[in-house]
Chain A
């Protein structure tokens, strides 16, 4: 039986190996994010036709919707990494969970800002206490709570474990955000993109959206890898492999 997959996963959990792995992969992720991002923006802002109802204003969804997806996706990643961190006490999982939080908070913030920019011409208001808007705001508070708790401990690993626990408790909000438009019939429009079954959107509008979704994923990975690498150096400072890197950098 091929047991190289668990072996490889196991090795990847070790800080120096992940540091090198992330360093190799990161430039590719940045390149992919830029490439797919530019294609998606061109497709969304130039090629896609204007909406019959909303005109050109709808184009903000090419930023808004992928950010909203990412705000939930990153919370999921953070919660899974938190679970791994608490159960198996993997140092790397703690770092991945904690470094995901600021990126997720940024995407949540972008979602709220672009949403209100779109809301002003379309709904005539910047903000309304609609179920989805409110639950997205609560998601931002959850992210900020996790970040705040992480930084309030003097011992980083202890802080990471406490914040990971909070992240897991907070996951109950994720389905609320996701299903809020189906559960409460409020101002926010229902979902138009479906994974199962045909989407309610025309093809030349949906491919830029899906491409942008890929771009945000690549950006997230690139950003996460950069943050994790920095964090690993800080956390492992004094270890031999960090000293070797420092000496190599100093000799350059």
Chain B
């Protein structure tokens, strides 16, 4: 039996995860609906003043997207643990970190990308000025993969436990604080007409670092969690 090449295995992994997600299209819509509902709660809670909503719009959208991603993160490895395919993945001859990177990529495409698509809509509902929109999308494009990568490590750590939802929030929150600060900082700076490239550059640097290190950490965490 011939062994598949690394790129072949990666492509197969990606195709499998995307197909699985596509078969359950309803699940992809859930984080988007959740974000929509949370964002609509803010005008009800704070009052529908345009000036106030405009000022908080960027931050609200970021936090909403973060919360929606947090909810979706829990499911990243669950079905694979239940049917035992995660163990097969660990035993595969290809490096586990690379295969996990593909899983994280598939997860980002199915959960974060739809959120980024609706983010301008959410921001528009909260009266974010149209000229800030590109900066918001850009900061989301850099921040969401970071959250996916960080989250994947923590999900892998909790893979051996049964109740992980709340715990995941507690663990991810401290680690994602810098991401939120820089992403929201870029949007706020753009809104005030200040240069916004510096926080975006920080996000990019962090993303480059996480792209290299997070899959390795995720693989190590998964090995610990499955060690039982």
Contact = CB atoms under 8 A, between A and B. Distances in A.
B164 A152 contact: yes
Interface string A120-135: 0000000000000010
Given A152-B163, A152-B164, A169-B153, A162 B171 contact: no
A173 interface: yes
Given A138-B174, A149-B171, A165 B158 contact: no
Contact of A158 (B160, B174, B178): B160
Q: What are the nearest 5 A-B pairs in CB distance?
A: A145-B171, A152-B161, A141-B174, A138-B174, A142-B174
User: Chain A: interface secondary structure?
Assistant: helix
Contacts of B167: 145, 148-149, 152
Nearest to B217: A169
Interface centre among A86, A142, A145, A176 (most CB of B within 10 A): A145
A149 B178 CA distance: 22
Contact of A148 (B171, B177, B178): B171
A149 B164 CA distance: 9
Please report whether the interface of chain B is mostly helix, strand, loop or mixed according to DSSP: helix
30 contacts: A138-B173, A138-B174, A138-B177, A139-B174, A141-B174, A142-B174, A145-B170, A145-B171, A149-B157, A149-B158, A149-B161, A152-B161, A152-B167, A153-B160, A153-B161, A155-B160, A155-B228, A158-B225, A158-B227, A162-B157, A162-B160, A162-B224, A165-B220, A165-B221, A166-B154, A166-B157, A169-B153, A170-B174, A170-B175, A176-B178
Interface of A: 86, 134, 138-139, 141-142, 144-145, 148-149, 152-155, 158, 161-162, 165-166, 169-170, 173, 176
A165 to B, nearest CB: 6
Interface in B117-158: 153-154, 157-158
B158 A173 contact: no
B160 A166 contact: no
A109 to B, nearest CB: 15
Contacts of A152: 158, 161, 163-164, 167
A173 B227 CA distance: 28
Given A138-B177, A152-B164, A158-B160, A166 B171 contact: yes
A162 B153 CA distance: 11
Contact of B224 (A141, A161, A170, A173): A161
A161 B227 contact: yes
Question: Size band of the B side of the interface?
Answer: 20 to 34
Contacts of B175: 169-170
Contacts of B171: 145, 148-149, 166
A162 B174 contact: no
Contacts of A153: 160-161
Given A148-B167, A158-B160, A165-B157, 15 more contacts: A86-B224, A134-B177, A138-B173, A138-B177, A141-B174, A148-B171, A149-B161, A152-B161, A155-B160, A155-B228, A162-B221, A162-B225, A166-B157, A169-B175, A176-B178
Contacts of B161: 149, 152-154
Contacts of B164: 152
Contacts of B221: 162, 165
Contacts of A158: 160, 224-225, 227-228
B91 to A, nearest CB: 19
Interface centre among B153, B171, B173, B228 (most CB of A within 10 A): B171
Nearest to B173: A141
Interface string B207-228: 0000000000100110011011
